[in-house]
Structure 1
């Protein structure tokens, strides 16, 4: 059948397409920019017709209409792999639920039947002459979602860029049930400006960077601050191998710092799995032969990262205790983000020759009452989720320095971490370390 005729035969309105959903179904919205905004609205419109429908998403960048139109969760339950600010709001309200995962394993949850999919709804780029739709900004575990689905609905958006991939970067018209067309804006999340504190933390990490390294940056003000430092520096011939591509990388490409010429793997090509940023970044990616998307099982695999030799990984965290345990996803039991790929990159970077991984945070914060609190704690006691175990914690950085915890005894860890704690809390941390018997008696204060 001619692909254009097949397209027309499968073309439906969003309201028609979502009729395929039935009571008790699991509906998957995929991740980030693949969020199907028009289909979400249409599905929300069936609130009074359906019962017990689970919807699964990740890093949601816009209000979710199946929740907004169902405030008491009588019909829809929203489940998230990894949290955005919007997801946190729903979680805080008890209207959504977190699904813990490692990003490198996320696709396997679908493959092994742990994450059922009755209907997959994803946003894609317009069809090409061969009948293929590019996944665009989201490779991640897109293919595994679609393979697991009983039914597939594509939301075609002309603003979704075409992005070439290492693998699993498109779907053919013959493999879908329905197609809908949408002019909803693609989800965007431009990086927030770096604060002075972000710049101070970035400055502690910058001396460890060098020409020819391959770089993984997380999302947030501190990675953006580091990107600005690199863009203004004399560093050259950097490579990109990223779980999430953000605007920080755009600055590095525009300044000529990233060339990917020295990468031992995919030489000449920057690699990412999910992109989330500004419209300018999306336009930069459209049909850009110098950048490839890749599945998360590949990007985040330790075996892949190991082959990149001079690999530098930089991610944020929330708190660290004196034993070196790292929390990067919750405050007490309140879910903030998710494990995501932090542990993946900590593991893989350690395996890479000359690899260095950094987990960065401010040394302190002010609580709701304006009281200063240390982000370096004696021990975790309030239900905080441990993202990186102490046995794998690499460099930890604050505005007061960066320390490598690999191979250190408990007293050495306590000493190193207290050295980068805020000065106002160091005496109290020393007393706690003494009480916990992890402070060397002969150590000078």
Structure 2
């Protein structure tokens, strides 16, 4: 079959391609670096023409034009599965909304008919000789969304790396309705600079790490600081099994620390589901047979994670209360991020024979007026969203140490958490613990 003739037949301008979208449709944009920039701009240009169109995104790495240009929701309402800074800004403004989810279940929301989608727009790598387009940096729940959608539009971009996958890593031209060609830079995410506090937190986690472990690193300064420590250490034969691949892993590959040779599953392959980072990272991943994408339903499945004998998961959080409840996605009722895969990996790591999960944060923070606030709270009362329940709380880490909470009583948790709180708040937290009847009289002040 002559796939190029079919390609040319389906090739359209962005403006003509988005004519598929009708009033009342749900439109999905592919997550992260697979964001369809030209299609988004063309759809936004239909403001005033369309009515009640819902657009759904995820981990935004570039400005979303339908949200930027229609803050009053005249034609479009923007919704996100997981906020980046862009999504947070749109929600703060009042014109966009958050969709709670667990990443491992995200695809099933589509297959079970719980999430509607009429049109899906995806950035993909150029077509190969067999008529296939690689999903590149975003496997995630892309296949489930395509299977549910009535129409598929590809934004084909040579800047998207080709990445081999365990499953659901490409689409054939026969399944595509429209093709738009693009050459815009794929969205990058600058690497977070590790602070002195990040480095102290990383130093507390480092002694728990072992040769041959399989590693999942979250996003932010602490994972980057830990990556630097590992790169300069004697650790070896590490594996990667991560929902999100970032530049923290690149430094470990370049230092020869990640070999994936000791993994119980997918030996020799570093596995991820979605990726956002530097152009250097994307170039490293392009046609790299050592790295493999996989659906989020696989990567984040606790049963899969539990099959690794020595799995280490390190993620960030925003606040913890004295009972061990963990908030990782909101400040009060203000949406900051999303549940993502934190609970997936906390659950799966516990099933791992020698698994260890760490949730890291600074002990305190300063507000815009320069006032200091503790991240360890007596209890949550301001509408903060609980991401990890106290029943599954693992090790909490601040720049003052590690508090292991699993299996601990309420008074043991309070004592452990207060010991890693900022010193300026410890007496106040003890007083609160006493009032809440979770402080033993024999506990030390």
- Give structure 2 stretches of 5+ with no counterpart: none
Q: Which residue of 1 aligns with 2:114?
A: 114
**CA RMSD, 1 decimal:** 0.7
Secondary structure of the equivalent of 1:192? coil
Q: Distance in 1 between matches of 2:256 and 2:190?
A: 21
Q: Structure 2: how far apart are the matches of 1:9 and 1:130?
A: 17
**Alpha-carbon shift at residue 367 of structure 1 (Å):** 1.4
Displacement of 1:73? 1.6
Helix, strand or coil at the partner of 1:396: strand
State the partner residue of 1:269.
269
What residue is the counterpart of 2:181 in the other structure?
181
Alpha-carbon distance between aligned partners in 1 of 2:35 and 2:59, rounded to the nearest angstrom? 9
Report the counterpart of residue 61 of structure 2 in structure 1: 61
Tell me the residue number matched to 1:342.
Answer: 342
Aligned to 1:436: 436
CA contact (8 A) 2:214 2:238 kept: yes
Would the aligned equivalents of 2:319 and 2:326 in 1 still touch at CA under 8 Å?
yes
**Partner residue in 2 for 1:372:** 372
The separation in 2 between residues aligned to 1:386 and 1:24, in whole angstroms, is: 33
Question: What CA distance in whole angstroms lies between the structure 2 residues aligned with 1:344 and 1:108?
Answer: 15
TM-score (normalizing by structure 1)? 0.99
User: Does 2:133 align with 1:133?
Assistant: yes
After superposition, what is the alpha-carbon deviation per residue over 1:360-391, rounded to whole angstroms, capped at 9, x for unaligned? 00000011221111100000000000000000
Alignment of structure 1 residues 8-157 onto 2, 5 Å: 8-157=8-157
Give 1:189-268 correspondences, 5 Å limit.
189-268=189-268
Structure 1: give runs of 5+ residues left out of the alignment.
none
**1:295 maps to which residue?**
295
Q: Residue 118 of structure 2 aligns to a residue in which SS? A: strand
Q: What are the superposed Cα offsets for residues 119-159 of structure 1, whole Å, 9 maximum, x if unpaired?
A: 00000000000000000000000000100000000000000
Equivalent pairs, count: 445
Report SS of the residue matched to 2:357. Answer: strand
1:190, distance to aligned residue in structure 2 (A): 2.3
CA–CA distance in 2 between the matches of 1:233 and 1:71? Answer: 49
CA shift for structure 1 position 438: 0.1
Which stretch has the larger CA shift, 63-72 or 290-299? 63-72
Three-state SS of the structure 1 residue aligned to 2:60 is: coil
> SS of the residue aligned with 1:97?
strand
1:41-94: per-residue Cα shift (whole Å, max 9, x none)?
110111121111000001111111112222322110000000001111111001
Q: Does the alignment pair 1:311 with 2:296?
A: no
- The CA distance in 2 between the partners of 1:13 and 1:278, in whole Å, is 29
How far did residue 30 of structure 1 move?
A: 2.0
Question: When the two structures are superposed, what TM-score results if normalisation uses the length of structure 2?
Answer: 0.99
Distance 1:350 1:44 in 2: 45
Structure 1: distance between partners of 2:427 and 2:39: 56
Offset, 1:176: 0.7
- 2:278 aligned residue: 278
